[in-house]
A and B are shown apart, each in its own frame.
Chain A
Amino acid sequence: MSHVTFIEANGTEHGVDVDNGVSVMEAAISNSVPGIDGDCGGNCACATCHVYIDPKWAPLTGERTQMEHDMLEFAEGVEPNSRLACQIHMTAELDGLVVRMPESQH
C-alpha cells in the first residue's frame, strides 16, 4: 500500500491509500476524489485525468509516453509537470506522492 495526496484547485486535500500497481487515476475514481474524471477508463484516450505532479515527485514518476504526450496537447493549462494520472502506477517508491488537479477536466 502507498499513500497519495490529491490537492484540488481550491486547496482541499484528499489522502488516499492505494495498492501498488493501481494507477493514480483509478485511485482517485475509486475513492471519489473530485477533480479527476477518467472518462476512457485508463486507456490514455481522453485526457480527463490531467494532473500536476508536485515538483519534488516529478523525477520519480517517469516520462510521458508518446500517446500521453499526444493527448496532453488537448488538455487545458498544460505545464511541464502535467501528466495523465492513468499512466502513473503506484509503487513503494512513490509512497507519499502529491498531485494537484486543474480547476476542471476538459
Chain B
Amino acid sequence: MYFSWGDPTMATAFKQSDDLMAAAREEAFSMPLDKIDVSDGARFVNNTFWPFFERLRRDAPIHYCAESKFGPYWSVTRYKDIMAVDTNHAIFSSDAHLGGIAVADMDDDFILPMFIAMDPPKHDVQRKAVSPIVAPANLAVLEVLIRERAQKIFDNLPINEPFDWVDRVSIELTTQMLATLFDFPWEDRRKLTYWSDIATSDPDLPGNPNKEERQLILLECLQYFTNLWNERVNAPPAGDLISMMAHDPATRDMAPMEYLGNLILLIVGGNDTTRNSISGGLLFLNENPDQYEKLRNNHALVESMVPEIVRYQTPLAHMRRTALQDTILGGQHIRKGDKVVMWYVSGNRDEAEIENPNAFIIDRARPRQHLSFGFGIHRCVGNRLAEMQLKIVWEEILKRWPMIEVLEPPVRVSSSFVKGYEKMMVRIPG
C-alpha cells in the first residue's frame, strides 16, 4: 500500500475506508432492489459505490430506479448490455432536447447543442468536421509539443517535498494540451479548466454556482471564444480547432449556442477525463506495488498499461440515452421517453467479459477491451490523443524517477458522472 505501516494517520485513514466499504457492502446486498439509486454522487466521494453495482449486475442487470434526484431512470450495468445500448443509436438517442447524455437532464432553457448530444444526421456532419484534428497525421505533430510541455512540467517539480499532483501535473498538463489544440492565449489557459469544471458542476450543490450564475459564466466563455473565432475566420485556415471550425463548411455557419456547445464538449471531453487518468494511474501503481515493480523492470509495458489505466479509472462513470420508442432490453420493457443510463464504471468491472476485472494489471492481453471511451458512433473522438498523452507522461516519469509516492488517500470528486480527483498529495523521493 501507499502508506507506511508505522504511520498512524494513514493506518487510521485506511481502516476508516475499510469500515465504510464493509458497511456499504452490507447495505448493498441487504436493501430492497427497487430502492437502490446508484446516481448518488456522495458514494463516489467516499468510493463506496462498487458493491451496489455488483448487486445490480447480479440481480437486476436492467434495473429501474423509480425515484431519484434526477427523476426515474434505468441502469444498465453489464458490459454486453452496455455495448448493445451504445451501438443502437436508432433507438437510444443522445439528443440534448430529450435531456442529453448524463443522468442529470440538461437545463432546458440553456441547451448546449454539442455533437455528443445529437443524433444522426447532424451528429455525423459535426463530428466529421472536428475529427481531423485528432487524426493520426496530426497526432504525430502534437506528440512533439506534448512531450516538450511534459518535460518542462516534470523538470520543475519539487523533490522530497509533498505537493498536489492533481494541480501541479494532471491539471497543468491537460490544460496546456487543450490550449495547444485551440491555439488559446497561453497566459489565460487556466480559464479552460475553470470553464470545464463549471460546465460539469451541479448547480444544486451548495458552494457551486447556481443555475443562473453557471449560465452567465458559460456565456463569458462563449464571448471569449467568439472573439477568437472572429480573429481566425478572417485569417487563412490553420491547424487549430477554432480555425478548423471557422473554415469547414459544415461548421462555419454554426449558431453561437452551437459553437459554445461544441467548445464545451471539446474542453470537457479533452480535459477532466485525461486529467483524472493521469492522477489515477499514479494512484493505482501505488496501490499495487507489484505492478509498479513490473513497470520499473520493463518500460515497454507503458503501452499496455495506458489502456488499463483508462479502464480502471473510467473517467466518465456513465453515459445516458433516452428511448425513442418502446423496446425490450434484457427482458425489461423500456418505454418511449425513458432515461437509460449505461454505467461504464460497472461494465468495466464485469467478470462476465473481463478476466479478474477488479485487479489493476498492466500487461493484459487485450487491454483496450473496455467501455471508458464508449462504443458506436459516439465513441470518444479523442481516444488516441488521450492515450498518447498518458503514454508520454509515463515515459517521461520513468526516465526520471523510479518511484513517486502517494502520501494519503486522494480527495475524490462528488459526482456520479465525472469520476476523478480534486487533490492528491505526493512526494518524489530524492
Contact = CB atoms under 8 A, between A and B. Distances in A.
Interface stretch (B25-33, B120-128, B211-219): B120-128
Contacts of B86: 45
A44 B135 CA distance: 20
B377 A41 contact: no
B128 A73 contact: yes
Which DSSP category, helix, strand, loop or mixed, fits chain B's interface? loop
Interface residues of B, number: 24
Given A37-B368, A41-B369, A73 B124 contact: yes
Contacts of B134: 106
A106 to B, nearest CB: 6
Contacts of A74: 124, 127-128, 131, 377, 379, 381
A58 interface: no
Contact of B369 (A39, A67, A71, A106): A39
A45 B83 contact: yes
A41 B373 CA distance: 14
Contacts, number: 51
B87 interface: yes
Given A45-B83, A76-B136, A106-B384, A70 B120 contact: yes
Contacts of A106: 131, 134-136, 384
Nearest to B378: A74
Interface in B133-187: 134-137
A37 B303 CA distance: 13
Interface of A: 29, 37, 39-41, 43-47, 67, 70-71, 73-74, 76, 103-104, 106
12 contacts: A41-B369, A44-B87, A45-B83, A45-B87, A45-B376, A46-B375, A46-B379, A70-B120, A74-B127, A74-B377, A74-B381, A76-B132
Give the 6 A-B residue pairs with the shortest CB-CB distance, closest first.
Answer: A45-B375, A104-B136, A39-B368, A45-B87, A76-B135, A40-B375
